[in-house]
Structures are given as C-alpha cells and as structure tokens.
Structure 1
C-alpha cells in the first residue's frame, strides 16, 4: 500500500472545492437536464456527473497520490492510505424535483478513518465542516450539538421513512412514538441540523459510504455521535442504516430501540 505523508488537508482547499461544486450544481438546478436511472433505479443527472468530474480534477491536481471514491465515477487508488469520498449531489431526487435541500458531500480518510467531513448546501449558502480532532463549523462559525439527553423530549428526524415503513414496519411504528417532535426527511441536511444543535436524533436508512462518511466528522466534531444501528463506526466497507444523536445518552436510547433491527453484514471483500 502506498504510504503518503500525513500532512493535514488545508480546510481552505475543501471550502473552495465546495464553493465550486455549489456553483456547478446551481447552473443545472430547476432547468431541463438529462436524467438516467441506474440499475437500482436511483436517478443520475448531468449535474451529478459534472460536479464529480470537477471535484476529481481538482483533487487529482493537488493530491495526485491520494485515492478517490465517487458515487458516479467509481474508485481510483483504493489501496492508497489517503482517500477522498465524494457524493456530488446528495439527494438527486430532490434536485430533479426542484427541492432545494440537496447537498454536496466530501470526506477525507486517512487509512480508513474520516479526518475531515464537509456538508455543502448549495441553495442555502451553508457549508458545514467537521474535523476529527478540531470541532465543527457552519460558514466559519463554531457549531455544537444540543445537550438533550432525554429521548421523550428530543426532536427526531426519520430519514427514508418510506423505505423503513415498507421493509421494517414494526420498527417504523416504534419510531412514530419516540421523541417530542418528529419530522420525515431525506439526505444529509438533518445530520447537519443535528450538528448545529437544532435536531437531537436522526435515524437514517439504506446508505452507501459516500452518503455517510462526510457526516461523521461533522456530527462528532460538534460533540454528537454517529454509528450504525449496532453502535459500530461505519467505514468504506459498510452499506446500511446509521443513527446520529446529539449526546451519548440519546445514542444509547436509540440503540436500545434499534438493536432488534440489525444492520446488514459488511459487504464481501469490504
């Protein structure tokens, strides 16, 4: 395995990359664009491909010895010690329906561990940045998860609720009874809201590595917790559900609810 140096990635580079990605995505938003459907029936657009191509080009120019994993263009240099993970349009279904809560996700891993995560919200003008050992911010201002410890008082977001209802109806009924306030949502933004202290719990379902790896440093940098449904830290070798919580107490309470609905095993060869 190539062993690149461990020099920290400049946050200015990542923020500039997020700005370019946002400008590219906005050029396609609410305009006629080509839409294809992949084998799993998930949509992909010209915007997805254009954003990812741009980001890959910038990373390759600045860090040619790093690997890149992207949703649309696959894996390059998977055996390298430092890897970037890209989701160019997190929420393509939102994007193609004119809904502004799609995001841009970028993670940087050092030997499999996310060191930096970025959640960009192009149409909101918000960029959330989290560092494994350096806190979290939104547009440069520090953010912090809430100190809520009581699940019955929590604000809970349920992502991909339609899939949970269809595939795990008993669990879905349980989720409808937790917390003081519940909202249904999709994609990355609820996790950003948790890191910023507005949401206390996010239950998420049916994710790929590029969907959650950028979220981890943002949530944990803000003082929260993000794991799979068994309390494990998910990496590049994981696909499945995750749960974010503002405090360890809320996280423990959620794991107690989710423990009878196990996450799938790691992918073969992962």
Structure 2
C-alpha cells in the first residue's frame, strides 16, 4: 500500500507548529546555554530540548509504531518502516546569537529512504517542504512550488556553506577549488542554504561532517525541486557525512570533478 504523502505532510505541519510553540519562547531571551562534550564549541539550549520533546510527544501519540531519531534525545526504534529524523534547532549557534537563520528540521524516512522533509523557520514565518510529489515554500497563506535554477555552470554558481574552517585536509582543498571557480560564496546560513537552493537562489549548498538529523529533512526538499544530492565520499547522504547538493545533476558532476583534481 502506497503511503498517503499528503496526510503525512499535513502531519508534519502539525509537528512544525508544536515545535514552534515550544522553541520561540526561548529565542532572543539570552537563555542558559549548555555545551556538549567534544572538540568544538557545541551549544544546546532549552529551546532545542523543548522543541524535540514537543515533536516526539505528537509523533508518539499519533504514530506510536514509528521510529524516532532526534539530535537531543537519541533513537527510539520503531516497529514500522517509518522513522522521523529530527533537529529541533538546526543552527543553535545562530539561535544563541539572536540570528533568525536557525530552523527546525523534520524528516521522514520509509524503509531507510528519505521521503518527506520540512524546514521551518517560525520567527521569520516561512516553511520549505518536500515529498515524492514535489517541493513547496509556504509563507503565511501563500504557497508556491519550488524549482531549482537550471543551466548554471560552476563558473556562474553561488555556493552556500556554514563555515570554511569545518573543512579539513583534502576536503579543504576541494572546497577551496570550488570557491575559486564559483562566482560567489556565502557563509553562516546553516540549513537555510539547502532550502534556498531548492527555491532557486543558491546553486550549490554543502557542508562537511553532518549528522543524519542535519540533512535527512532537506534531501526531499532539494530532490522535489529538481536538485541533485550526494555524499562526496560515496556514502548514503541520508546518514549524514560530507554533503554536496546542486541545482542540477550536471552542476553536481562539475562540482565533483573539482574533488578529483584536489586529491
């Protein structure tokens, strides 16, 4: 039986609303910050935690058999082919600085494949979402279908990535070759760059060292809008890793050629 993608998409909207209600009271309030153990400064706030708890509660009430994989509270194994992959506040560094470039990422996999994704920025009031039937942008009462920008060569491309220092070794060489070939490179957009690629404003969005919850929700938005995605070392992108996305398969291939040159 084919899943009802429209019903699942409407349910994802409910998850976005629940998370927004839980997260927004903590935004621009200079709330306490915890720092996760690790080599880099990795903050977490009550906004992150409250947002994920709210999403999990709604999923567990409606779909108790579904699996859940969230950044803050880990993995709940499911008894169905569906797993929700959650990042309640993607871009917590932006969140604690008061920048509205963070987003809530809600992804759904079916038998391990990304099938539905939603990126919500409740402070700005816009949402990007995708499923097997396409991808859309919603702001207020207005919804429009998304389509990536086509016919762009690397020399004319705009690249978006979180920060250049996240690339190490051969990956840094690859990134610098891409940056040198492209027209414009912008930093600090976190998941927004991937959504803006789907909307036709950015041609390449990429980041190194992502987790599944950083990217799973964005893949159906990009592919639903006609874009192309890969993990540039050959792994499954839904599991995270080094993610490269482009507005077309041709541009993706041209970008990957720079990696061959850099190693």
Deviation at 1:144, TM superposition (A): 0.6
Give the TM-score normalised by the residue count of structure 1: 0.88
Where in structure 2 are the equivalents of 1:1-270 lying within 5 Å?
A: 6-8=3-5, 9-40=7-38, 41-77=41-77, 80-131=80-131, 133-139=132-138, 140-164=143-167, 168-230=171-233, 233-235=236-238, 238-259=239-260
Does structure 2 retain, via aligned residues, the 8 Å contact 1:87–1:104?
A: yes
Q: Secondary structure at the match of 1:10?
A: helix
Give the 4+ runs in structure 1 shifted more than 6 A. none
Judged with a 3 Å threshold, the aligned counterparts in structure 2 of structure 1 residues 125 and 261 are, in CA distance, closer, same or farther, namely farther
Q: Secondary structure at the match of 2:237?
A: coil
Deviation at 1:161, TM superposition (A): 1.4
Does structure 2 retain, via aligned residues, the 8 Å contact 1:148–1:154?
A: no
Q: Secondary structure at the match of 2:147?
A: coil
The C-alpha deviation readout for 1:112-160, integer Å capped at 9, x for no partner, is 01110001112221111101x2110001311110013311111111333
Gaps of 5+ in 2: none
Gaps of 5+ in 1: 263-270
Deviation at 1:7, TM superposition (A): 4.5
Does structure 2 retain, via aligned residues, the 8 Å contact 1:128–1:218?
A: yes
- CA distance in structure 2 between the aligned counterparts of 1:222 and 1:20, rounded to whole angstroms: 26
The C-alpha deviation readout for 1:47-79, integer Å capped at 9, x for no partner, is 000000000000000101101000000111156
1:267 counterpart residue number: none
The C-alpha deviation readout for 1:199-258, integer Å capped at 9, x for no partner, is 1111211100000000100000000011111455423xx342101100111000111112
Judged with a 3 Å threshold, the aligned counterparts in structure 2 of structure 1 residues 5 and 201 are, in CA distance, closer, same or farther, namely closer
Between the two proteins, the alignment pairs up a number of residues equal to: 256
Does structure 2 retain, via aligned residues, the 8 Å contact 1:101–1:123?
A: no
- CA distance in structure 2 between the aligned counterparts of 1:220 and 1:25, rounded to whole angstroms: 28
- CA distance in structure 2 between the aligned counterparts of 1:213 and 1:259, rounded to whole angstroms: 26
The C-alpha deviation readout for 1:142-195, integer Å capped at 9, x for no partner, is 111001331111111133312126784433431330211221224200000000
Select the structure that is richer in helix.
2
1:266 counterpart residue number: none
Q: Secondary structure at the match of 1:128?
A: strand
The C-alpha deviation readout for 1:61-102, integer Å capped at 9, x for no partner, is 010110100000011115642100100000001101111100
Does structure 1 retain, via aligned residues, the 8 Å contact 2:30–2:96?
A: no
